[in-house]
Structure 1
Amino acid sequence: MPDRRTLPFGRLVLGAAAVALVVFIVLLGVLNPPRKAGVFTDRLGPEQGEQVADYLARARDSLGGMDAAEHWALVSFTEPLVPEQIPPHSAGMRIAQVLYQVPIPRVQTPLVAVPVPAGDAAAIDSAESAAWLLPRSAPDERATRVTALSAARLRSGCACTVGLVLRGPLDCLRKLSSQNGIRAVEALPADAVAGRFGVVPLLPEQLDVIQPGPNDGPVPDQ
């Protein structure tokens, strides 16, 4: 009489095949490890509460290195620019975003980031796009007036450009950082992924500590 504890031959074959499959998958993972994902948690610009001097030093340090790869970088200005001044402040590098914020004394206004295609004309024309990207609704009457005034000034070509996101090599970014009108240039590591990093410019009026400005001033009519 056959021993009932003995596994049938077919089950033995299936078991051996399953073990072989597991071993193959493990070996495949060892021999072909997954590629590291790009940098997804980066940020360009100062942190809330950071000392401006510390950010300026951090931005300078980010431009060190001798690699020839292109890097995403944030350019912050000493004064807001009119749209026609954007190309001379990019040193011919690819402009990916133009950052706008309408300056109104003691009034907080929204920051608007406008993605742009290649070419100086697109960067210059982006102020109109910034006006369209402003919120269509506001929580109160004051915010509604701020939004309407910001849109009107952007469409009039105001000096409201507060930063650029560029793509270029470190040597070009270092040269740009020494140009008149440039307050800071901060670069991300070369493996940073487009669209996977935050951007907040260093505003011209931020001199000591990064913090929200006052919001108790009157909103002009125009």
Structure 2
Amino acid sequence: MSSRRWPTIVAAVALTGTVVALGVANPVPPARVSTDRLGPDAGEPVAAYLDRANASLVEDAVPDAGAEHWALVSLDAPATASTLLDTVGDLRVSQVMFRVPIERVQTPIVTIPVAANRESVERASTVASARLSMAGAGVDRQSQVMAYSAARLSTGCTCVVGAVVRGSLAQLRALAATPTARAVEALPADAVAGAFAVSPLLPSQTTVVVPGPDDGPVPALP
């Protein structure tokens, strides 16, 4: 090997060592991977999900009465924002889920983050309407569904199907016992806000969690 190549090789090895040392000293933070999820799985029997949700409200082996949990409440029937607030009482609401019911038509679930006050929850329907309006400008079936849903949501329709709330297990069990709450499922107390997926159990899902038919006509805009 030519002696003229040795300085280049030595410099390359030194640079590699520097890069490795910097990587050890300043490691790249690993991407956060979350497997937390609230709501039934696709194809899951409704009875199995209800049992699973109830089991999530049981005290841990070493109960901590002060620990709060994020939880999903799926409503027994579509409701207004006011009815949702009456159902959850003093529990903190962080997300409200809307779905406009149309017979034999698949409509989107719209999830709106809300601040910790009643006014924000009551305005969420208007925010959901604005979000769908931006996607409903075409003439195809999906755009028609979006436009119709946006119009209904703008009126504060009876379209709330669920919400994410936060409270102790005792509070969540009390919520599960209310007539308008169909299911309440809690995450472990160490779950991080915003790091879990949510999909409510819809009132129309009575036996198995599968999409309903989508062969009905889309109503004309109100």
Given the two structures, how large is their TM-score scaled by the length of structure 1?
A: 0.80
C-alpha separation in 2, matches of 1:155 and 1:218: 21
Is the radius of gyration larger for structure 1 or structure 2?
1
In the TM superposition, 1:83-98 aligns within 5 A as 83-98=81-96
SS in 2 for 1:180: coil
Residue 133 of structure 1: how far off its partner (Å): 1.9
With 139-148 and 207-216 compared, the bigger mean Cα shift is at: 139-148
Structure 1 moving runs of 4+ over 4 Å: none
> AA paired with 2:94?
A
In structure 2, give the amino acid aligned to 1:53: A
Q: Which residue of 2 aligns with 1:132?
A: 130
The separation in 1 between residues aligned to 2:139 and 2:58, in whole angstroms, is 46
Structure 1 counterpart of 2:13: none
The answer as to whether partners of 1:40 and 1:193 remain within 8 angstroms in 2 is: no
Residue equivalent to 2:34:
40
What are the ranges of 5 or more consecutive residues in structure 1 without an aligned counterpart? 1-21, 26-36
C-alpha contact (below 8 Å) 1:132/1:151 kept by paired residues: yes
The answer to whether the aligner puts 1:111 opposite 2:109 as a matched pair is yes
Tell me the residue number matched to 2:213. Answer: 214
Q: CA deviation at 1:64?
A: 0.5
Quote the offset at 1:132 in angstroms.
1.5
Query: How far, CA to CA, are the matches of 1:133 and 1:177 in structure 2?
Result: 30
The question of whether the paired residues in 1 share the 8 Å contact of 2:133 and 2:147 is answered with: no
User: Is the CA contact (8 Å cut-off) linking 2:129 and 2:153 kept in structure 1?
Assistant: yes
CA distance in 2, matches of 1:188, 1:152: 34
Which 10-residue stretch deviates more, 107-116 or 85-94? 85-94
Task: State the alpha-carbon separation in 2 of the partners of residues 40 and 192 from structure 1.
Answer: 9
Q: Hey, what's the Cα distance between the residues in 2 that align with 1:137 and 1:175?
A: 38
Q: Secondary structure at the match of 1:183?
A: strand
Stretches of structure 2 that go unaligned for 5 or more consecutive residues are 1-20, 25-30
> Residue 38 and residue 90 in structure 1: after superposition, are their counterparts in 2 closer, same or farther (change >3 A)?
farther
Give the aligned residue type for 1:165: V
CA distance in 1, matches of 2:56, 2:33: 15
Deviation at 1:42, TM superposition (A): 0.5
Q: What is the CA deviation profile of residues 93-135 of structure 1, one whole-angstrom value per residue up to 9, with x for unaligned ones?
A: 1000000000000001111000000111111111001111226
Q: Give the Cα–Cα distance (whole angstroms) in 1 for the partners of residues 122 and 163 of structure 2.
A: 12
Change in Cα spacing, 1:147 to 1:74, as seen in structure 2 (3 Å) is same
C-alpha displacement of 1:87: 1.0
CA drift of 1:137 comes to 3.5
Percent of residue pairs identical: 50
Q: Indicate the residue corresponding to 2:43 in structure 1.
A: 49
Q: CA–CA distance in 2 between the matches of 1:190 and 1:38?
A: 18
Q: Write the deviation string for residues 160-212 of structure 1: whole angstroms up to 9, x where unpaired.
A: 00001001110000001001111000000011111110000000010000011
Deviations 1:56-78 (A, max 9, x none): 00000000013231100000111
Deviations along 1:145-171, one digit per CA (max 9) or x if unpaired, are 111100010011111000010011100
Across the aligned residues of Structure 1 and Structure 2, the Cα RMSD in angstroms comes to 1.9
Query: Secondary structure in 2 aligned to 1:125?
Result: helix
CA distance, structure 2, for counterparts of residue 203 and residue 130 of structure 1: 18
The correspondence of residues 167-178 of structure 1 with structure 2, limited to 5 A, is 167-178=166-177
Q: What does residue 141 of structure 1 align with?
A: 140
Q: Match for residue 10 of structure 2?
A: none
Contact 1:86–1:124 (Cα < 8 Å) also in 2: no
In 1, distance between residues paired with 2:134 and 2:127? Answer: 14
